[in-house]
Every structure is written in C-alpha cells, then in structure tokens.
C-alpha cells in the first residue's frame, strides 16, 4: 500500500469491517463525520477503493438495479483484515495530523485497551512538543511580532492546551477502567 494515502485506505478498510458498502455508502458515512474528518469527495473514495481492489484487500460485487445504475458493493478480504490489523497495531507517527489521528482512533476502538492507550500517549507527547515549540515561538518573536502572529500562536496554544487536558482526562479514565476491570485489556 502506498505510504502517502495509507491512512485513508486503511480507514476505508476499517469501515468495511463493520459491513460491506458501496462508494456512495462510504461517502454518506464520512459526511456524517465531516466535522471531524473533512468531507472526502468521490474523487478520493473511488481511487482508494480501486487501489484496495487491485491490492486484493477488498472484493467487489456488482448488484443490478432495475431503474438505476448497478451498485458496486465492496467487501474486505482476509488479506484486507490482516493489513488493517497490522496498521492499527502500529502507533501513529508522532507527526500525524489531527485528521489521520482521528481516523486511527476510530479504528483503534476495535484494538486492545493497551493499543488505544498507546495511541493516546503518543499523541500527548506530540501535542506537548508542539505546545513547547509554540511557547518558544512566542518568546523568540518578542517585539517583532505582529498582533496577528501573536493571536495565531496564542490560538495554537489554546488548542494544544485543550487537547492535552482531554488526553490526560481520557488516559486517566482508561487507566481507572483497566484497574477496575482487568479483562478490559483483553478486548
């Protein structure tokens, strides 16, 4: 699988583990998550589906319809499940963008609690490093900074602080759940 589009292609595989879908079905589902993931077009979805088909990670069934064009229903293969399992088990790179991180989290819901916790810890480290860089940027700008630059950096700091607070809370919650329910780690 090509590295540049790996997250979106794996995300589609993850969606297909829940049920077989057409490209239109996938688009509708992604539209419902649009505020988190953006709104991928058919020009993004169909090339990803065709690449997954070429790689043998999905199959397609053409379902005729009497009054409309036939529907192409995509189903994940065993090779697709294995590729997805391997991808979800890997921690996301520390430079991962928010959209890709959200896709990873959605799919990590089927992973072990340890895997999910690992993803969250890694994100916490990346966001903390980002916050530190923003703080250094403010110090480095000094009197040279325009009001717009300062506002933009302060906005970035507020976002980083909010995400760090959420990550800490979620990690504490998961830790407490694992302590009170050790079998949750095996899910």
Q: What is the pLDDT along the chain (187 residues), one digit of tens a residue?
A: 434 345 788 889 999 998 999 999 999 888 887 767 777 778 889 999 999 999 999 999 999 989 999 999 999 999 999 998 888 777 667 677 787 788 877 777 655 567 778 888 888 998 999 899 898 888 887 777 788 888 888 999 999 999 999 999 999 998 888 788 766 554 4
Q: How many CB atoms lie within 10 A of CB 186?
A: 8
**Cα atoms in the 13 Å half-sphere on the side-chain side of 181:** 8
Contact between 71 and 62 (Cβ < 8 Å): yes
- Same domain assignment for residues 53 and 121: no
| 107 domain residue, yes or no | no
Percent helix / strand / coil, the chain, rounded to 5? 70, 5, 20
- Domain that residue 123 falls in: 112-186
| 54 domain residue, yes or no | yes
Structure tokens given for 174: 């998961």
Please state, in angstroms and rounded to a whole number, the distance separating the CA atoms of residues 135 and 1. Answer: 38
> For the domain that residue 46 is a member of, what is the CATH number?
1.10.10.10
Contact between 163 and 170 (Cβ < 8 Å): no
Please state, in angstroms and rounded to a whole number, the distance separating the CA atoms of residues 120 and 167. Answer: 7
- Same domain assignment for residues 87 and 119: no
Contact between 97 and 15 (Cβ < 8 Å): no
The tally of domains found in the chain comes to 2
- Neighbouring-strand partners of residue 59: 75
Sequence-distant (6+) residues with CB within 8 A of 108 are 88, 115, 116, 119
- Same domain assignment for residues 29 and 80: yes
- pLDDT for position 110: 53
| 55 domain residue, yes or no | yes
Residue where a domain terminates, one of 48, 64, 92: 92
Contact between 37 and 30 (Cβ < 8 Å): yes
Torsion sign across C-alpha atoms 181, 183, 186, 187: negative
- pLDDT for position 4: 37
């Amino acid at each position: 699988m090509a590295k540049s589009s790996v997250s979106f292609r794996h995300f589609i595989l993850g969606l297909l583990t829940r049920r077989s879908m057409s490209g239109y079905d996938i688009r509708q589902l992604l539209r419902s998550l649009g505020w988190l993931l953006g709104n991928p077009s058919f020009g993004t979805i169909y090339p990803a589906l065709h690449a997954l088909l070429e790689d043998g990670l999905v199959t397609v069934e053409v379902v005729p319809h009497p009054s409309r064009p036939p529907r192409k229903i995509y189903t994940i293969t065993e090779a697709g499940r294995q590729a997805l399992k391997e991808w979800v088990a890997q921690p996301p790179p520390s430079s991962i963008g928010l959209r890709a991180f959200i896709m990873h989290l959605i799919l990590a819901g089927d992973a072990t609690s340890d895997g999910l916790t690992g993803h969250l810890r890694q994100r916490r480290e990346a966001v903390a490093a980002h916050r530190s860089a923003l703080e250094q940027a403010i110090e480095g700008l000094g009197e040279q900074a325009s009001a717009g630059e300062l506002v933009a950096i302060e906005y970035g700091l507020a976002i980083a602080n909010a995400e760090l607070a959420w990550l800490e809370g979620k990690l504490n919650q998961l830790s407490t759940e694992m302590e009170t329910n050790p079998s949750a780690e095996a899910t």
